[in-house]
A and B are shown apart, each in its own frame.
With several copies, the nearest count.
Chain A
Amino acid sequence: MKTDLISLEGSDLSTEDLLRLYRNLLRVRLIEEAIAARYSAQEMRCPVHLSVGQEAAAVGACDPLTREDRIVSTHRCHGHYLAKGGDLTRMIAEIHGRATGCCGGRGGSMHLFDDDAGVVASVPIVGSSVPLGLGIALAFQQQGLPHVAVAFFGDGAVEEGALHESANLAVVHQLPLVFFLENNLYSVYTPLQDRQPERPLARFASAHELPVEEADGNDVLAVRRATAVAVERARQGEGPTLVAVNTYRWREHCGPAYDDHLGYRPEGELAKWQAACPVARFEKALTEAGLLSKEHQESFAAACAAEIETAFRVALQAPFPRPESATDHVYA
């Protein structure tokens, strides 16, 4: 991975754009850290898969999207949901099992969705939401709409047959779909090399003539650039693209803790990736370019903290769903 400064050159983004990206990165980070910090209170009684360390992928991928564009996500969906504009209060309420949650408490952390923001579904079965992404893209195509779908998935999903079937289908039907691969090198405790042959992971796309854009997944600008190319291609009716980025999960696969003591990751690997922190690297670049002052940064962080504080307070005060409501909505 790269730990050097993120280059602001060559990006045609305004200062405002850059600061928006930074704010979004920081916000996702702080929200996830807050979940981690509060998880032991056992009020969030559902599994959580935090994406701390992977924020640039989510934020960079969603930034080029319009509100009408849609995404689908996985078990590790917090970052995608937030980056696409999903409602924080409803997310925190959902994780707390409250009636005001985005699924009314029915889904928990792995099922986040937000129709207004274009988060169609998050699905905890690996690879299972990618075909849904095909369908969203197909609907856009059939309805003659200029929108794009993005399907997020991890390196583990590349092993699932569903992904290959989907890549083939998307290419054959030239669907306006971006396959967004976050390679964080692990599926739970299992490293890539125990699960797949050694090769650039993105090469799987060549089986299906699926064009590829690669980027440093901890460089929000690089991710944004690569995704923008893919999105534009899809919007122009030129079909799907794989955007493949490398990144790293800092905390345990599921749950709030750090688990490096278990020894499934080489010593020092986490530290190296932490040195490539997607938030800090971008913060430093902006600071050195004189675009972000310390005060500015602190006011962002404070605003986030306040928003988070409120979201948790509101969630904890929100009612649980009525037990009798459990039988509602089995059928439309």
Chain B
Amino acid sequence: MPEVDGKPKDRSKRILTGAQAIVEATEQAMERHPEVFLLGEGAQDPKGIFGTTTGLLERFGPQRVMEMPLAENAFTGMAIGAALMGQRPLVVHQRVEFSLLAMEQLLNNAAKMHYVSGGKHRVPLVIRVVVGRGWGQGPAHSQSLESLFSAVPGLKVVLPSNAADLKGLLLGAIEDDNPVVFIEHRWTHYATGHVPPGYAPLPLDGPRRLREGGDVTVVASSYMTLEALQAANALANQGIGVDLFDLRVARPLQLAEILASVARTGRLLTVDLGSSSFGLGAEIVARAASETFDSLKAAPRRLGLPDHPTPSSRALAEVFYIRSPQIGAAICDLVGAKPELRGQLEEELQAGRDDLPLDIPHPSFKGPF
């Protein structure tokens, strides 16, 4: 379970940052599976792609930690071809936007090869895409494109929220025989958490309940889970029970447990990392509306990015991103909480943040990034 603010309760457990968890997963997978290799622009770079590839070149050499030219389309196809031959490539893009140049390869060749071949071909491929945010990255370096990938049958799409999942799900993605788009929010690289040391791949088996509660079902993904958890914790103190799910896997979407929860609570809020419109929340709400219709007590709600590109200026980012106070407020609305409570909660959640700049994840961090 993610620890908000990185304050683990049990200090005997091992704490890593998300970035360290990724390094550890990659290291262990490469050690265990000679077919696993890493490739990408900057795979060998001295800063280790935000610290997520640090030490791998030294350990495994340039044949297995391959630096790529700026040729996203061709090297994605190359990875697919290698996967068809039984290798297990791990591609990394420092920004999800660079993968747009490889959409044809991903959507046609990676996603469909298994299907078209009637199950004969396999594409055990992982594409790590880093989703930027903050420090004025702006319109072409901080999109969150999970809904694009999630619309493609044949791809799997994973959105880890915490260090343990970054490790476990990355191992699970590497062991999976399908092409997996592994979406890493930059801020989950910084967040710390307990990470078990061993080789323990987690299957890509869908959402995890992070908190139990009877009043409202909340589904968040990736970094937004941390914001939602903060809101849920504060609400619990007020006696409002949030059944909080970390979505984890957006495709194939496994909603059984979430729908069962909605059937119980009658209330649903989704919190998307990317845009609200045409986002993951649309699919989840549509499914809930169709499949738990009779149990719904209130209109389901979605939170997510507004319907415009990401502006660079921090003044505009201020109203762009969803944070825990808004999540808390939306939940209050959903459960029909008293206005005083809503106001108080928003204030409380905001209070812990007033000294944090909006555009960086942690005050000790100095740009650029």
Contact = CB atoms under 8 A, between A and B. Distances in A.
Query: Do any CB atoms of chain A lie under 8 A from CB atoms of chain B in the complex?
Result: yes
B312 A165 contact: no
Interface in B81-102: 81-87, 89, 97-98, 101
Nearest to B97: A125
Give 4 closest A-B pairs by Cβ, nearest first: A135-B81, A131-B77, A46-B136, A97-B313
Interface stretch (B118-126, B221-229, B338-346): B118-126
B366 to A, nearest CB: 7
Q: Which of A120, A136, A321, A329 has the most CB of B within 10 A?
A: A329
Interface residues of B, number: 80
B84 A331 contact: no
Nearest to B310: A106
Interface string A247-272: 00000001100000011100000000
B115 A106 contact: yes
Contacts of B46: 189, 262-264
B73 interface: yes
B319 interface: yes
Q: Which of A42, A46, A156 has the most CB of B within 10 A?
A: A46
Given A105-B313, A325-B316, A133 B81 contact: yes
B364 interface: no
A303 B252 CA distance: 50
A237 interface: no
Interface stretch (A108-116, A238-246, A282-290): A108-116
B69 A131 contact: no
A331 B224 CA distance: 28
Contacts of B67: 190, 194-195
Interface in B165-183: 176-178
B50 interface: no
A168 interface: yes
A169 B78 contact: yes
A122 to B, nearest CB: 10
A282 B266 CA distance: 74
B72 to A, nearest CB: 8
Contact of A329 (B41, B45, B89, B119): B119
B368 A255 contact: yes
Contact of A330 (B104, B109, B308, B314): B308
A135 B180 CA distance: 17
Given A106-B316, A160-B71, 13 more contacts: A97-B316, A121-B109, A131-B78, A132-B77, A132-B81, A135-B77, A135-B89, A156-B69, A189-B44, A194-B67, A323-B316, A327-B308, A330-B308
Interface in A194-212: 194-196
A97 B70 contact: no
Contact of B135 (A47, A120, A162, A173): A47
A47 B114 contact: no
Nearest to A46: B136
11 contacts: A98-B313, A106-B117, A107-B116, A107-B117, A120-B81, A135-B80, A135-B81, A136-B82, A142-B63, A160-B101, A166-B74
Nearest to A126: B70
A320 B101 CA distance: 34
A53 interface: no
Interface of A: 39-40, 42, 45-48, 70, 72, 97-98, 101, 103-111, 113, 115, 120-121, 123-140, 142-143, 156-157, 159-162, 165-166, 168-169, 172-173, 187-190, 194-196, 254-255, 262-264, 320-332
Given A136-B85, A329-B114, A168 B104 contact: no
Contacts of B71: 159-161, 165-166, 168-169
Interface string B45-72: 1110000000000000001001111110
Contacts of B70: 126-127, 156-157, 159-160, 187, 195
Given A135-B85, A168-B69, A190-B44, A327 B306 contact: yes
Contacts of B77: 128-132, 134-135, 162, 166
Contacts of A160: 70-71, 101
Interface of B: 37, 41-42, 44-47, 63, 66-71, 73-87, 89, 97-98, 101, 104-105, 108-109, 113-122, 124, 135-141, 153-154, 156, 176-178, 252, 306-309, 311-316, 318-320, 359, 366-369
Contacts of B109: 121, 123, 128-129, 132
Contact of A162 (B73, B117, B309, B313): B73
Contacts of B153: 330
A150 to B, nearest CB: 12
A243 B148 CA distance: 38
A326 B136 contact: no
A140 B81 CA distance: 11
Given A136-B81, A139-B81, A326 B311 contact: yes
A323 B140 contact: no
A196 to B, nearest CB: 7
A330 B154 contact: yes
Nearest to B134: A45
B41 A131 contact: no
A79 B33 CA distance: 37
Nearest to A127: B70
A227 B224 CA distance: 50
A21 to B, nearest CB: 28
A172 B214 CA distance: 59
Nearest to A330: B308
Contacts of A40: 366
B311 A106 contact: yes
B84 A120 contact: yes
Given A106-B316, A142-B63, A254-B368, A329 B118 contact: yes
A104 B109 CA distance: 17
Given A131-B73, A131-B81, A135-B80, A124 B45 contact: no
A169 B75 contact: yes
A331 B154 contact: yes
